[in-house]
Amino acid sequence: MVAQSRPILEGSHSAASSMKIKLKVWRQKGPDADGKLVDYTLNDVSPDMSFLEMLDVLNESLIRTGQDPVDFDSDCREGICGSCGIMINGKAHGPLAGTTTCQLHMRTFRSGDEIVVEPWRAEAFPVVRDLVIDRSAFDRIIVAGGFISVNTGAAPDANAVLVPKQNADMAMDAAACIACGACVAQCKNASAALFVGAKVSHLALLPQGNPERSRRAIRMVQQMDAEGFGSCSNEGECEAVCPKGISISNIARMNREFTKASFGGTR
Amino acid sequence: MSESLRNNGRIWVPKNKGDRRPPNAIPEAERDYYLERKYPSFGNLVPRDVASRNAKEVCDDGRGVGDSGLSVYLDFRDDITRLGRDVIEARYGNLFEMYNRITGEDPYAQPMRIYPAVHYTMGGLWVDYQLQSSVPGLFVLGEANFSDHGANRLGASALMQGLADGYFVAPYTVPDYIASTRFTDAPVNHPAFNEAATRVDDNLKHLLGVKGKTTPREFHRRLGHLMWDYVGMARNEVGLKKVLSEIPALRDEFWRDVSVPGSNDYMNQSLEYAGRVADYLEFAEVMALDALERAESCGGHFREESQTPEGEALRDDENFAHVAAWEFTGVGTAPVLHREKLDFENVHPSQRSYK
């Protein structure tokens, strides 16, 4: 099973005309402050800008006119770090399937469009400021999963541990999760089941992850519940907005792992 | 884009300057597969410094493609025909998709446009064989240290160094340090802590207090242009000396005219960014100084004064078979150079050739 391939998009690179974009951006000074949508208009947006570059341009103009820039998280801007995550017109990471906010380009929109920009909204992801949310609940789930046993010292021979190709592919697909939190943001229950499913699956499918397999499944699921994420009701919005195309079959695998571990007792 | 793409892609530019036809309309006879032409034994798989310099050369020659003229084609047509689209997709599907998202073009149907960019740099923090820095107890693992990358970076280097240091070195050296060191309490009222906290606080207040007119991003951009123009893929003494006067001038201007909004009593991203740019303005200077001091060409460091008659990097092991470790002595004062000699017992450095 290879990761579901996502469409190559039509539409061509355009050196062309600039666009006018109206934005409604969520502004919130701090975790406990009231927030509101504020209107901004940008008159000179290049279709070749990424969505975050467009926000950079907005921020430069805000700083120049003595206003507070819009805070948002980003790091690699190559779609692999998981830092950027914005609700764009009500959809996590915006309208394109399989695409993080940083890889979304303005040519996807039309001149004159109004775009509503909001942070992820979930109890377990409190807003820090503007579009920045605190995703450390995810970190605590990973920490709860703990270590895996690895031999350090002399390097083992290549292929000393055999892994079936199919399992390697499935583990790789699960490992593609960048922990951006789009799954939580889109879910009406704010469930983190897809994220945890991906992380539990990734190691459960590989021999390297086996010694701590039961303990990991139990602890990660318990931590997920403790953080205040909602339950999974199998609607599949998570899979639909996941920029890495993580399949909800990983949720089923997490449930199997958890159930098996519960009967087997934790180690 | 990842360099692995060169395993199946062929790099070319039009033979004629200013050929604006779309790539697929340019007949085979009018394409210059310049890496295959110049380096028949390695072709498109020459090391990254050679591939980068050659891309720069054809673009400087006016044969670059795209709106900016700063790109060359990376063409998968032949291997898609030979191996099938499925094989190419299985190998590079994620990269093709990333390219498609950025450009709006379909790299399965038309060549990618690529150009070398700053990615990682060689070098890093000095460490000893235990991976401990000059600050006792501060171990530096992975690519943050200088130890594994010489004149060129190796493919998948981030993983290689992270794994090597993490699996094979640190598990022995860090516990040894902890086991053999006596630690005393370092509470937050320790004088060193107070001194550091005061220094950071003063620095933040200073940044916020300038209240100038130029944004941190603007300074970052100007510094980037200086580095790109003078400390980029080809360097020379005149340019390096020029940039070594321009970087301190830009740094002075930054501290006179930077505009940082807000305050330091909340998570202020602009303040954070300004702090980084301030760091870059210091670090850029030592990079330029190091490039000036090393008058040989050596992998990614190409000194125009030191090249073979064919325009390839000419090394000078007589004078430069050393690591240059620069000791920080304060902002705006010259760092001290420590030369660590490189000894080669089995494999000896020689002039590279990919012909």
Maximal C-alpha separation, chain A:
64
Quick one: pLDDT at residue B257? 98
CB within 8 Å of chain B, chain A residues 68-107: 68-69, 71, 78-79, 96, 98-99, 103-105, 107
Quick one: pLDDT at residue A4? 45
pLDDT tens, residue by residue, B224-233: 999 999 999 9
Closest-approach residue (CA) in chain A for B169:
A153
CA of B155 to nearest chain A CA: how many angstroms apart? Answer: 18
d(CA A256, CA A143): 21
Quick one: pLDDT at residue A262? 92
Residue B136 has pLDDT above 80, yes or no: yes
Quick one: pLDDT at residue A2? 39
**What confidence tier does B121 reach under pLDDT thresholds 50, 70, 90?**
confident
CB contact under 8 A, B103 and A2: no
As beta bridge partners, residue B326 has B337
Report the run of H or E that residue A165 belongs to, with start and end. Answer: helix A165-175
CB contact under 8 A, A6 and B104: no
d(CA A262, CA B5): 46
Quick one: pLDDT at residue B74? 97
Quick one: pLDDT at residue A111? 95
Question: What's the gap between Cα B128 and its chain centre?
Answer: 23
Quick one: pLDDT at residue A83? 96
**Of B27, B36, B95, B32, which Cα lies nearest the Cα of B59?**
B32
Quick one: pLDDT at residue A224? 98
Q: Which residues contact B184 (CB under 8 A, 6 or more apart)?
A: none
d(CA B318, CA B329): 29
Beta-strand pair A19-28/A114-118: parallel
**DSSP letter assigned to residue A47:** T
- Average pLDDT of A229-253? 97
Instruction: Indicate the range of B136-140, B162-166, B325-329 predicted with least confidence.
Output: B162-166
Name chain B contacts of A32, Cβ cutoff 8 Å: none
Quick one: pLDDT at residue B147? 87
Closest-approach residue (CA) in chain A for B164:
A155
Q: What is the ipTM of this complex?
A: 0.87
Name chain B contacts of A10, Cβ cutoff 8 Å: 106
Name chain A contacts of B261, Cβ cutoff 8 Å: 62-63, 66-69
Task: Kindly report the average pLDDT of chain B as a whole number.
Answer: 93
CA of A54 to nearest chain B CA: how many angstroms apart? Answer: 14
Closest-approach residue (CA) in chain A for B214:
A64
Residue A9 has pLDDT above 90, yes or no: no
Residue A3 has pLDDT above 50, yes or no: no
CB contact under 8 A, A63 and B259: yes
| Residue B241 amino acid letter | K
* A vs B: CB pairs below 8 A: 78
As beta bridge partners, residue A91 has A88
Quick one: pLDDT at residue A7? 61
pLDDT tens, residue by residue, B313-344: 999 999 999 999 999 999 989 999 999 999 99
Tokens of B29: 């006879």
Contact by Cβ (8 Å): A261, A218: yes
Quick one: pLDDT at residue B114? 96
Contact by Cβ (8 Å): B196, B165: no
Q: Which percentage of chain B shows pLDDT scores above 90?
A: 83
CB contact under 8 A, B104 and A98: no
Pick A105's closest partner by Cβ from B104, B107, B269. B104
CB contact under 8 A, B97 and A6: yes
Q: Does the beta carbon of B217 lie under 8 angstroms from any beta carbon of chain A?
A: yes
Residue A23 has pLDDT above 50, yes or no: yes
| Residue B162 amino acid letter | G
Report the run of H or E that residue B73 belongs to, with start and end. Answer: strand B72-75
**What confidence tier does B351 reach under pLDDT thresholds 50, 70, 90?**
confident
Quick one: pLDDT at residue B271? 96
- Average pLDDT of A16-36? 94
d(CA A55, CA A69): 9
Report the run of H or E that residue B14 belongs to, with start and end. Answer: strand B10-14
CB contact under 8 A, B101 and A9: yes
Quick one: pLDDT at residue B123? 87
Phi, psi of B251 (to 5 degrees): -65, -40
Quick one: pLDDT at residue B259? 96
Residue A15 has pLDDT above 60, yes or no: no
pLDDT tens, residue by residue, A181-221: 999 999 999 999 999 999 999 999 999 889 999 999 999 99
**What confidence tier does B167 reach under pLDDT thresholds 50, 70, 90?**
confident
d(CA B90, CA B170): 36
- Average pLDDT of B33-39? 97
pLDDT tens, residue by residue, A51-97: 999 999 999 999 999 999 999 999 999 899 999 999 999 999 999 99
Residue A5 has pLDDT above 70, yes or no: no
CB contact burial A144-182 (16+ within 10 A = b; e otherwise): bbeeeeeeeeeeeeeeeeeeeeeeeebbebbbbbbbbbb
Beta-strand pair B112-114/B322-327: unpaired
Q: Which of A32, A46, A60, A63 to mutate to test the interface with B (most CBs of B within 10 A)?
A: A63
Name chain A contacts of B269, Cβ cutoff 8 Å: 69, 71, 132
As beta bridge partners, residue B336 has B327
CB contact under 8 A, B104 and A78: no
d(CA B86, CA B296): 45
**What confidence tier does B122 reach under pLDDT thresholds 50, 70, 90?**
confident
pLDDT tens, residue by residue, B247-285: 999 999 999 999 999 999 999 999 999 999 999 999 999
**What confidence tier does B15 reach under pLDDT thresholds 50, 70, 90?**
very high
Residue A1 has pLDDT above 50, yes or no: no
**What confidence tier does A16 reach under pLDDT thresholds 50, 70, 90?**
low
d(CA B210, CA B204): 10
**What confidence tier does A27 reach under pLDDT thresholds 50, 70, 90?**
very high
Quick one: pLDDT at residue A265? 58
CB contact under 8 A, B269 and A78: no
pLDDT tens, residue by residue, A118-163: 999 999 999 999 999 999 999 999 999 999 887 776 777 888 889 9
Q: Does the beta carbon of B183 lie under 8 angstroms from any beta carbon of chain A?
A: no
CB contact under 8 A, A60 and B217: yes
Question: What's the gap between Cα A252 and its chain centre?
Answer: 19
CB within 8 Å of chain B, chain A residues 25-44: 29-30
